[in-house]
Amino acid sequence: MFRPAPIAFRRTLHGLAAVALLGAVVSFAASPAAAQEVIEGKAILAHPAGKAIVEAGKLVKAGKLAEVKKSSAKEVRDEWAAASSADQRDATDEAAKTAPDAATLLAEIARAGVFTNYGDSGVLRVEAADGNSMIMAFVSLEDGKWKVTAGPKSIDTTPVEETAPPIEGAAILAHEIGKVALAYAKEVAAGKFEAAAAWMSGPARAKRAAEPAEERKESDAYRKSTVPGPAAFAEQIRAGGRVSFIGEKAYLQTVVSETTKNPDGSITASSSSMSLGFELDNGKWRVAD
């Protein structure tokens, strides 16, 4: 039996403080056969998971993301508690900007919502009528209660035109971006954050320098806890790295997939991704945050 992992948006690194999102990262690998039920439209609003999503949406839109996180599943609570104050503020601001207002959320779920229930987790998807955006939310069942692990969030799904051919796998390590990524990771892993900053762009260094000392310390600690060490990072890049180019910006994304055999014989599969942003700075690629 295949069992999808608990679903949640994971924090990624478009630099450090980007909020994870679809395309930045969704931590699950769901098999259609694993779904216990699919609920559509107005019926979602009567389901406990749907009600939880609507209530979370109101809080997120009101700038109360912390309340949602602290009442979420244990993994999410722990991740939130480990984040720096600066990262929590950034996540709260970003979530409030991208959360649909209550009236829109209710109307869109009733119009075209699809909730897939996997038993111990679930995902809500609502495709916009114009096909250029989507509302998503993720929930997990813990102690008999549906808890929102991410979202609800409006996602712009308008195709973005890449301005240069992507680079994938081992070829990234021969490119300037790959070399900078590993040099940056090496200094972060060693706790040498000023040395790591040398691999950041001018605007990114200025932003870091402007942070209050305590917040900068928290952010640096979070970097160290989330950026892979250089050897692991290199292996992740070889196995599934991709660099996409959009103008003078680029994004290095890696995906890590894992499977775990459970005591009951079922298998839980999950995948997580990390995205590190870059920008051209005086003709050189540097980490963008």
- What is the model's pLDDT at position 154? 94
Return phi, psi of residue 250, to 5°. Answer: -145, 155
pTM over 0.85: no
- What is the model's pLDDT at position 24? 32
Question: Which distant-in-sequence residues (6+ apart) come within 8 Å of 191 by Cβ?
Answer: 220, 224
Per-residue pLDDT of the chain (289 residues; tens, 9 = 90+): 333 333 333 333 333 333 333 333 333 333 344 558 999 999 999 999 999 999 999 999 999 999 999 999 999 999 999 888 888 998 999 999 999 999 999 999 999 999 999 999 999 999 998 888 999 999 999 999 999 999 999 998 887 789 999 999 999 999 999 999 999 999 999 999 999 999 999 999 999 999 899 889 988 988 898 899 999 999 999 998 999 999 999 999 998 777 777 788 777 666 677 889 999 999 999 999 7
- What is the model's pLDDT at position 16? 33
Return phi, psi of residue 88, to 5°. Answer: -65, -40
In angstroms, rounded to a whole number, what is the distance separating the alpha carbons of residues 132 and 233? 33
H/E run at residue 75:
helix 74-82
Fill in the DSSP letter of residue 134: E
In Å, how far from its chain's centre is CA 192?
A: 26
CATH of 164-287, one of 3.90.25, 2.60.120, 3.10.450, 1.10.3710: 3.10.450
In angstroms, rounded to a whole number, what is the distance separating the alpha carbons of residues 195 and 78? 29
Fill in the DSSP letter of residue 34: G
Q: Is 223 exposed, middle or buried (0-12, 13-18, 19+ CB in 10 A)?
A: buried
Q: Residue 181 is encoded by which pair of tokens? A: 């990524």
Question: Which distant-in-sequence residues (6+ apart) come within 8 Å of 190 by Cβ?
Answer: none
- What is the model's pLDDT at position 264? 80
Query: Within 10 A of 10 (CB to CB), how many other CB atoms are there?
Result: 23
In Å, how far from its chain's centre is CA 72?
A: 16
